Amino acid sequence: MLGRYYEETSLTWVAAPASVDDGLQPDQTRRLAEFWLPRGTSGAPFSVRSPEIAAFLKNDTNGIASFVIVRETSETDPSGLVHAFASKEHPSARPPTLRVR
């Protein structure tokens, strides 16, 4: 699955790159960075930097990169924390944006 292009309009969770029922296939993914969202924040911009992301992009051979954001914190309280990212279609919130320098 690595290096394949996925159409946004037809990509589903079931057909997502490296996705299996119990998570991600470790032989087709690698951790590039970690980040934490401070409790009670909404819409505040933040950056994620890592040498692993830079190396991943520098080693790309086809101009296409796929990123998967995985929540690793558990939540069992019905009124507990919500982790979400806006899509590009959201009327006011900004979607995740990759900026390369």
Give the pLDDT confidence of 15-34 residue by residue, as tens digits. Answer: 777 888 877 888 888 899 99
Q: What percent of the chain shows pLDDT beyond 90? A: 14
**Highest-scoring range by mean pLDDT, 31-35, 76-80, 81-85:** 31-35
- Of 14, 15, 20, 13, nearest to 4 (Cα)? 15
Residue 86 has pLDDT above 50, yes or no: yes
- Of 33, 67, 63, nearest to 50 (Cα)? 33
Would you state the pLDDT for residue 91?
A: 92
User: Do residues 4 and 63 lie in contact, with contact meaning Cβ atoms separated by under 8 Å?
Assistant: no
Would you state the pLDDT for residue 4?
A: 59
Would you state the pLDDT for residue 101?
A: 77
Q: What is the pLDDT of residues 52-69, one digit of tens each?
A: 999 999 998 888 888 888
Residue 1 has pLDDT above 70, yes or no: no
